[in-house]
Amino acid sequence: MNKKMYELGSKRSVIRDLFEYGRNLAKEVGEDKVYDFSLGNPSIPAPDCVNDGIRALIENDATVIHGYTSATGDNGVRAKISAYIKKTFGFELPSALIYMTTGAAAALSITFKALVDDDHDEFITFAPFFPEYKVFVEAGGGKLKVIKPKDENFGINVDDLSTAITPRTVGVIINSPNNPSGNVYSKEEIIALSETLEKKSKEYAHPIYLISDEPYREVVYDKIEVPYVPNYYSNTIVCYSWSKSMSLAGERIGYIAVSPKATDAGDVFFAICGAGRALGYVCASSLFQRVVANGIGQTSDIDIYKANRDKLYNNLTRLGLTCLYPKGAFYLFVKCPIESKDFCEKAKKLGILFVPSESFGVDGWVRIAYCVAPDMIDRSLPAFEKLVKECKE
Amino acid sequence: MNKKMYELGSKRSVIRDLFEYGRNLAKEVGEDKVYDFSLGNPSIPAPDCVNDGIRALIENDATVIHGYTSATGDNGVRAKISAYIKKTFGFELPSALIYMTTGAAAALSITFKALVDDDHDEFITFAPFFPEYKVFVEAGGGKLKVIKPKDENFGINVDDLSTAITPRTVGVIINSPNNPSGNVYSKEEIIALSETLEKKSKEYAHPIYLISDEPYREVVYDKIEVPYVPNYYSNTIVCYSWSKSMSLAGERIGYIAVSPKATDAGDVFFAICGAGRALGYVCASSLFQRVVANGIGQTSDIDIYKANRDKLYNNLTRLGLTCLYPKGAFYLFVKCPIESKDFCEKAKKLGILFVPSESFGVDGWVRIAYCVAPDMIDRSLPAFEKLVKECKE
């Protein structure tokens, strides 16, 4: 048996432990006194286009709808995505360079497997970062290097990137809107990143791919713009998912898009097809491919997350906690006013469950997932007040 | 970029080529004069429990139904599968050893990744075999050894297996009902296989796992019994899929079951969880997990395939072709009366598309997939008659 796989499968995750702690606590003190902010599982329903779309599809075309699509995805579906990208971002993405996937995790795993050619190959990402990147890169045969943030704005640390890139660097991974910080990278940051990557690609005479992991693209507030990365950097591969935007996390539906401006775009796409095949991804769900394409552009009611964000941000800052103002995603990044471990322990005892930032590669913060029922936030506020008071004692 | 992945993704498959040849021919001679028997894509609708189940689920529980389940699968779903296995095969399979997957391809890929510990590790299978086994085993880091059939019954060649097993053998893969031969292994064959594996496991002092790939378990005719492998061999891992039994090939839903009698069953299960995670499989479709569990035991109308089988088998043998009598799956294995390549070429010119057996590791046969509309078989018979006549010229 594979020891590394055994370790990955048997090691209990922080979030899983929190979840079980919460279940047990609920039995003791009551469900309404546990405030679980640990999971990024959308709690608001999918937009109507999802269930209406499912009903219409199974009504009209029952035989074909559950059969195989081609491995890259249904052609009509890919054409709709291509047209949407053109309309929304003004970018010409040929449908022939779109590969439908079983969610963003599959998209990332397939991309790393496609790009890694030997076990010295490296990817770079910026902390705080989604910890599964390390798992996926290593399963693909490569190594992940993590760049620490420059400051507490958690922007792209281009200075350190410049020295971190080596001849072995195959790609850089960004995630904006960001899990866990809630940050959204500005156009200026994407341009600076792009310039560094272009310079380094030239210096080492090979393309450095920019993997833009975008499951939170539409989960943004105050009409903030999320720059469309292929508009700024040629060697971009977008990994997208409808998990968050349409509350379809359990259905696993997303895509990989290779920019047509990328070096060897067609060959990279072939390697992606090969990697998808090798990893056992025959096709993305035939039904859900059609559902998301028919409803493309629609989202769950993001205003609910916005109201959650405002309530939580305003109340926690009022209590004196330092919070990063979330521009997108549904996470609030809060600085621990005392030793991180003690802060989390005190919170747990009060029924407040959140994830320590150490899991995401930075020290001394916690991630509060506010994709929860609004009334849980209301109920949690007295507990937060108590927590802050206890921290001062 | 990864050269092997590029090759896997860019190499055109025989079946894909046939498909495109068929599309072009249809434009020339008309849709009704092309008889495409190349694809194993079920053409009969899913049983009513599928679409009725979907409607009920999205009606009653719209928020949770599309959210994440745990990585191993929804607990209620796993309990239903466990109960069904107990009732149907009299085997106690704890739900804690069931891991829900994105179809059988995912189940196999995850299993190989979980079991392979170093790149000398070997798996063995019996020709004719599903060619993706090689792709999945190699992606998992192992090697696939193929045992040639003993005779034209295409049973389990236990004699050659005995000498093929080495200290590096980690597992043996069987597929019954078989793609492409339509054969179903008897109880006696499974017992003989089991005895050999037990003897060799002892000799080399490590477990040899038997991976039973069972997407066609319920697709059998004349009430033939498909032995439930865990009843005969302890170190069994079942890879199951509803792709064929419920005509859900495009929705990708299946499971891995580790026999509780297997050596280190719990640890193997952990390695499977780790491999699923590493390969980017977050969970199997939340909706389809519930759909198949609620309808468990129901199948598409297999009688249609049986009628297809009978018509095709009777007519082709009447024409003088040697066919293996299919006990299950929906493939007819036909011996080429002339040089295999010439036979396929002549057939193509007459609009008959089938897959040469060379793709499946044996020479001189073709696979006819009869999961097609019954009227296509009727229309194809004169073309088959012409084909046989041309072969005699």
Position B220 scores a pLDDT of 97
A69 at B interface, C-beta within 8 A = yes
d(C-alpha A119, C-alpha B231), whole Å:
42
Q: In the structure, what pLDDT confidence band is assigned to residue B12 with cuts at 50, 70 and 90? A: confident
Substitution target in A36, A285, A286, A330 with the highest count of B β-carbons within 10 Å is A285
Cβ atoms within 10 Å, residue A19: 16
Q: Does B45 touch chain A (CB under 8 A)?
A: yes
Per-residue model confidence (pLDDT) at position A171:
98
State the smallest CA–CA distance between residue A134 and chain B in angstroms. Answer: 9
**Smallest Cβ distance to A10: which of B39, B139, B270?**
B270
Quick check: B305 pLDDT over 70? yes
Q: CA nearest B61 in A: which residue?
A: A45
Inter-chain residue contact B264 with A1, CB threshold 8 Å: yes
Q: Decide if A272 touches B, using CB distance below 8 A.
A: yes
Domains of chain B, by residue range, sit at 3-47+300-392, 63-294
Interface contact B4-A274, CB threshold 8 A: yes
A110 and B CB contact within 8 Å:
yes
Position of tokens 């000799």? Answer: B203
| Any A CB within 8 A of B114 CB | yes
Interface check A116 vs B, CB under 8 A: yes
Span B243-294, pLDDT tens digits: 999 999 999 999 999 999 999 999 999 999 999 999 999 999 999 999 999 9
- How does DSSP assign A10-70, residue by residue? HSPPHHHHHHHHHHHHHHHH-GGG-EE-------SPPPHHHHHHHHHHHHH-TTGGGS---
Residue with tokens 């305003």: A314
Per-residue model confidence as pLDDT tens digits over A306-318: 999 999 999 999 9
Which residues in chain A are contacts of B63 at CB distance < 8 A? 43-45, 247
The domain B63-294 is classified under which CATH number: 3.40.50.10210, 3.30.420.40, 3.40.640.10, 1.10.10.10? 3.40.640.10
Q: What is the predicted ipTM?
A: 0.95
* Under 8 Å between Cβ of B138 and B144: yes
Query: In the prediction, which pLDDT does A62 show?
Result: 66
Res B62: pLDDT:
66
Measured in angstroms, the CA of A195 and the nearest CA of chain B are apart by 22
B285: contact with A, CB 8 A cutoff: yes
A249 and chain B in contact, CB less than 8 A = yes
Q: Per-residue pLDDT tens for B150-176?
A: 999 999 999 999 999 999 999 999 999
Residue in A51, A135, A274 nearest the CB of B277: A135
> Are A368 and A354 spatial neighbours (Cβ–Cβ below 8 Å)?
yes
A60 touches chain B (CB under 8 A): no
Percent of chain A with pLDDT over 70: 99
* β-strands B254-258, B236-241 pairing: antiparallel
Please give the pLDDT value at position A15. Answer: 80
B56 touches chain A (CB under 8 A): no
Give yes or no for B251 touching A (CB within 8 A). yes
CA-to-CA separations, B98 to A244, A252, A331, B113, in angstroms, rounded: 27, 20, 33, 17
Beta-carbon separation of B279 and A58 below 8 A: no
CATH topology of domain A3-47+300-392: Aspartate Aminotransferase, domain 1 (3.90.1150)
pLDDT digits (tens, 9 = 90+) for B324-348: 999 999 999 999 999 999 999 999 9
Q: Which helix (H) or strand (E) holds A136?
A: helix A132-139
* B66 pLDDT higher than 80: yes
* Residue B8: closest C-alpha in chain A: A274
SS (H, E, C) A227-283: CCHHHCCCCEEEEEECCCCCCCCCCCCEEEEECCCCCCHHHHHHHHHHHHHHCCCCC
Closest chain A residue to B48, measured at CA? A62
- Whether A63-294 and A3-47+300-392 are alike in CATH topology: the answer is no
Mean pLDDT across chain B = 95
Q: Are B336 and B366 in contact (CB under 8 A)?
A: yes
Q: Would you call B28 helix, strand, or coil by DSSP?
A: helix
CB contact under 8 Å between A285 and B55, yes or no, is no
Burial (CB < 10 A; 0-12, 13-18, 19+), residue A64, is middle
Band (B14; pLDDT cuts 50, 70, 90) = confident
DSSP lists the bridge partners of residue B239 as B213, B256
Q: Does A347 touch chain B (CB under 8 A)?
A: no
Measured between alpha carbons, how far is B61 from B52 in angstroms, rounded to an integer?
14
A51 contacts B274? CB cut-off 8 A: no
Q: How far is B338 from chain A (nearest CA, A)?
A: 33
Find out whether B256 and B229 touch, Cβ atoms under 8 Å: no
Cβ atoms of B185 and B173 within 8 Å: the answer is: no
What residues in chain A have per-residue pLDDT under 50? none
Which residue in A has a C-alpha nearest to residue B40's C-alpha? A68
Give dist(CA A243, CA B150) in Å, integer.
50
- Judge whether B58 is closer than 8 Å to chain A, CB to CB: yes
Interface contact flag, B274 A67, Cβ < 8 Å: no
Q: Is B275 on the interface with A (CB under 8 A)?
A: yes
Out of B115, B267, B279, name the one closest to residue A109 (CB).
B279
Total-model pTM:
0.96
Contact predicate A55/A61, CB 8 Å: no
